[in-house]
Structure 1
């Protein structure tokens, strides 16, 4: 199983926005594993599936990624109950866990990696494990437990431009898509700073503008836009988009979507 340094995992799981802050927390003795074991060494390598937390903090989901879906469900007013979800980029399963806790009927946990999904979810009969699966090669017939009518997307090192054209052949008509837009993987290479971080709000605006335009051109309705409640790996600000597939040649843009305001609020929050 893949292992990673604890200080890096703390940033990737969204507990801290820099490795230095993570190291200070470890030195202070306040970092625990999901088994309540204290971590004392920043450089210690542990399985990437290990969920970390601060002393006294209770984890609601198997990973903090569940907090992203929790916010999306709340602010976008998307019903999860009895839905068949496709979790693209499931990793340890935070999105899947959050969806099931909010009433989803089933979740396809799809990821290009392996041995990342939490044991709790592997044993859940409502979860269809689809590891070592590159979504760009997926077809509707691969989803044998029913056509997905709810999709979450949280992928790294690949653009949504690769995901969305394939997805419209799989998601049901009127299906909801909750997509994480990650500027570090959508921006031009020259606009990505040291350690893969995008700091500039202008670049964030440009990325969101391009992604919304691409989504519309692909036939998706763009219903809403907001920012993720936690930062991504290395402290990157990320954004949440609510798309809807209505089987159209060109999608429509909800007049409430305001890119500039969303970016301003995101930078004020982080």
Structure 2
């Protein structure tokens, strides 16, 4: 079983926004594993252990599940019996959320190794594809049914390198939920200290650029919202709902007000 620091796990499970806040909760004596109080931020504990903060439990194995949960609700996406590509699966928050909402199968793809939570690793509905760079995934690697839903949660790489590959793997009419992380899409001169992007104008431009690029690849923007929680580094993130319709097909040109979404995100955080 994999073990991690308690404060790190609290952040990963969205029970605390930062490690510093996690440490405060732990030192305050409000972090529990079942009936046992955990009081040392640096203690290594099994990643499968259930954690709670004064009775608040995390419904998914990773904080990404909260992001997808909001997307499913905001975009009215149903996942019953759907096959999912989880690109950048990490601990599996997106996959866990999707399975709990009725998905039949998830391809959990990540360039890393041994990050996926044991609960999912041992679930027959999950196809574990570790040490796999999505940029080089081909259709023959997708062996248990073609996907009609995809999520993207990647770091240190732009969505511009993901979407062209994804377009070759999806069924027409598929839904995509893409997490936009401005720090990996903006120019270096637009990213502030500690990798934080705070400028609304940069957020708006990043979203416009990504949407334009996605449309060139054959996707259309259906809707947009902001993530209910910030990234682990404190960055505001955004959720795109894209539809795969193939290049040249008619698009719904209804205007999605990107500026309003960005303003709402900044008001919230």
TM-score (norm 1): 0.90
Tell me which residue corresponds to 2:76.
Answer: 77
Question: Does the CA contact (< 8 Å) of 1:112 and 1:131 recur in 2?
Answer: yes
Tell me which residue corresponds to 1:174.
Answer: 173
Mark the CA change 1:103 to 1:232 in structure 2 (over 3 Å): closer, same or farther: same
> Which whole-Å deviations, capped at 9, do the CAs of 1:232-265 have from their partners, x for residues lacking one?
1122111000011111147746524111110111
* 1:92-131 map, 5 Å: 92-131=91-130
Q: Secondary structure at the match of 1:257?
A: coil
Task: For 2:118 and 2:35, locate their aligned partners in 1 and report how far apart those are by CA, in whole Å.
Answer: 17
Q: Displacement, 1:180?
A: 0.4
Task: For 1:3 and 1:84, locate their aligned partners in 2 and report how far apart those are by CA, in whole Å.
Answer: 30
Q: Secondary structure at the match of 2:205?
A: helix
Task: For 2:27 and 2:173, locate their aligned partners in 1 and report how far apart those are by CA, in whole Å.
Answer: 50
Tell me which residue corresponds to 2:89.
Answer: 90
Tell me which residue corresponds to 1:159.
Answer: 158
Mark the CA change 1:268 to 1:124 in structure 2 (over 3 Å): closer, same or farther: same
Question: Does the CA contact (< 8 Å) of 2:85 and 2:151 recur in 1?
Answer: yes
Task: For 1:198 and 1:5, locate their aligned partners in 2 and report how far apart those are by CA, in whole Å.
Answer: 28
Q: Displacement, 1:118?
A: 1.3
* 1:249-264 map, 5 Å: 249=248, 252=251, 254-264=253-263
Structure 2 alignment gaps of length 5 or more: none
Q: Displacement, 1:53?
A: 4.0
> Which whole-Å deviations, capped at 9, do the CAs of 1:170-194 have from their partners, x for residues lacking one?
1111111111001121111122222
Task: For 2:250 and 2:105, locate their aligned partners in 1 and report how far apart those are by CA, in whole Å.
Answer: 28
> Which whole-Å deviations, capped at 9, do the CAs of 1:140-191 have from their partners, x for residues lacking one?
1100001111001111111101100111011111111111001121111122
Question: Does the CA contact (< 8 Å) of 2:61 and 2:92 recur in 1?
Answer: yes
Q: Displacement, 1:84?
A: 0.6
The root-mean-square deviation of aligned C-alpha atoms, in Å, is: 2.3
Q: Secondary structure at the match of 2:233?
A: helix
1:22 aligns with 2:16: no
TM-score (norm 2): 0.90
